[in-house]
Amino acid sequence: MASGDPEGLRRTAGPGLLWALGVAYVISGDFFGWNFGLRDGGWSAMFVATAAMAVLYGALVACIAELAAATPVAGGAFAFARRAFGPLGGYLTGIAVAIEYTFAPAVIAVGLGGYLAGWLGDPDGVISTWTPVVGYAACVAINLAGAAVSLRALLVVTVLAAAALVAWAAVMVVAVPPGGWQPLQAALSQPPSLAAVAAALPAAGWFFLAVEGVPMAAEETHDPARDLPRGMAAAMITLVALALLVLSLAPLGGGVRSIAQAGNPLPQALAALGHRGGWFTLVSAIGLVGLFASMLSIVYADSRHLYALARAGHLPRWLARTDRRGVPRTALVVGAAVGLLALLLARPLAPSGVAPADLLMQVAVFAALASYVAIAASHLWLRARAPALPRPYRTPWGALLPMLVVGLALAGGIAGAWSVPAAGRALAILGVLLAVAAIDFVLVVRRRIAGRTLEQELAIVRAAELGADVTSPAADR
């Protein structure tokens, strides 16, 4: 067994851990990031935009469940698009997902700094500056302990974070005075403009962004055909419920304008209702746990995604090495380092009046929407062109759900590009990154994978699962 890859990925996850992984990917969006949508869209627009995103992600999860059960390998969207559209389609889809999973933890790291600074006070900005670095270091350290440790740690912190959100909601309900519910009633009774909904869509997507990363753990799942659909469906139901709680209650405390600008919106909502003491401290502390859970899980997913791309020959092969615990350590460290670099570069690139985290969030959302179109198109293509492909789980209602995903993802991307501040800058960054990737494919990747069929690439996947060194020439044959 090669020293560079002695163990491969180990099967340790069931539906409970997959639920935790799916919720953990996203739960930070309940604590921070969604509130940016209140700034330009307003409260009523955020309700409509959140409903639209819930439908999009619900349909997406159903499509992914079939694809992941049919292709249970690490790589997710890359593996699906590779099977449907060949090397170039798989590569560009994989790069879009890599951008999403690299930029999203950077946004969450800023949220960690905001919660910690709001809790402890940070007049000199020292906490806000160094918290992202410490957060990334902790994510790498925990993930290096192996999938069994990191996934079980995620289960604990996810349950804590979800319980804290429910407790926060209960305190908010009790604390709101009888007349304090009128703004919510007014928001629900006033239809928003199309422009306002369009402006709120990217931030509304933050309530659900990255739940599609659950198939990254396919090779570490006991029974992918059974466990992936169950875990993803349970995660989606949980996320919709939490999003409705947060969106309904947070602006009742601090007000729409104040919450829209807050680095710690949930504790600030409590403070505005007179709960600056114990509950403020508790929600701040658990908010840090929830944010860290998402950061930890997306860093995990990013490492598995880079690993999948590398072992298929689409990224340098040294990224496909795993250690004795079965952890793709090089991909883990490189992904974290690139995320920190993106955070540093976002500060000079962000337009005046736009937070660096907001700019990175928009890039991540646009990259995600592009990958969703590719996933749904892969579903439609494989249903039509590969009817004999084993499908232990089938998406209900035939082509309806993937077509819905395509329509909503395109509509969300166009609406966001049209109405969101700094969307042009975000799209330019995404466009440059994808253009560089396309050039890399033509000049480097295409030669590296020349003559390799899909079956050969899947053989490399299986060899990696069994512990073969995927960087060796034998693995390429």
pLDDT, residue 215, reads 63
| The amino acid at 467 | G
| The amino acid at 87 | P
SS3 labels along 106-142: HHHHHHHHHHHHHHHCCCCCHHHHHHHHHHHHHHHHH
CATH of the structural domain 15-446, one choice from 3.40.50.880, 3.30.160.100, 1.20.1740.10, 3.30.1010.10: 1.20.1740.10
Q: Which residues of 277-310 are buried (b: 16+ CB within 10 A; e: fewer)?
A: eebbebbbebbbbbbbbbbbbbbbbbbbbbbbbb
CB 470 within 8 A of CB 456: no
pLDDT in tens, the chain (477 residues): 333 443 444 555 566 777 877 887 788 788 888 888 888 778 999 999 999 999 999 899 888 888 877 776 656 788 788 888 888 898 999 999 999 989 989 988 888 888 788 777 776 678 878 888 898 998 888 888 766 666 677 777 778 888 888 888 888 888 888 878 888 888 888 888 888 888 888 888 889 987 877 765 656 666 666 777 788 888 889 999 999 999 999 898 878 888 888 778 888 888 888 766 677 787 778 778 878 877 887 888 788 888 878 887 888 888 888 877 778 889 999 999 999 999 888 888 888 777 888 888 889 989 999 999 999 999 999 888 888 777 777 888 878 899 999 998 998 888 778 777 778 888 999 999 999 999 999 999 988 887 777 667 656 655 544 444 444 443 443
Q: Which residues of 348-376 are buried (b: 16+ CB within 10 A; e: fewer)?
A: ebbeeebbbbbbbbbbbbbbbbbbbbbbb
Q: Where are the beta strands (DSSP E) in 323-380?
A: none
Q: Which helix (H) or strand (E) holds 3?
A: none
How many CB atoms lie under 10 A from the CB of residue 452? Answer: 16
Instruction: Please provide residue 13's backbone torsions phi and psi, each rounded to the nearest 5 degrees.
Output: -105, 140
Tokens describing residue 311: 């072992």
* pLDDT tens for each residue of 439-458: 999 999 988 887 777 667 65
pLDDT, residue 474, reads 38
Residues whose CB is less than 8 angstroms from the CB of residue 194 and which lie 6 or more positions away in sequence, other chains included: none
How many CB atoms lie under 10 A from the CB of residue 223? Answer: 15
* pLDDT tens for each residue of 280-304: 787 778 778 878 877 887 888 788 8
pLDDT, residue 405, reads 93
SS3 labels along 201-224: HHHHHCCCCCHHHHHHHHHHECCH
pLDDT, residue 476, reads 40
- How far is it, in rounded angstroms, from Cα 367 to Cα 352? 23
Tokens describing residue 159: 């349950």
pLDDT, residue 149, reads 67
pLDDT, residue 147, reads 62
Nearest to 372 by CA among 338, 412, 430, 432: 412
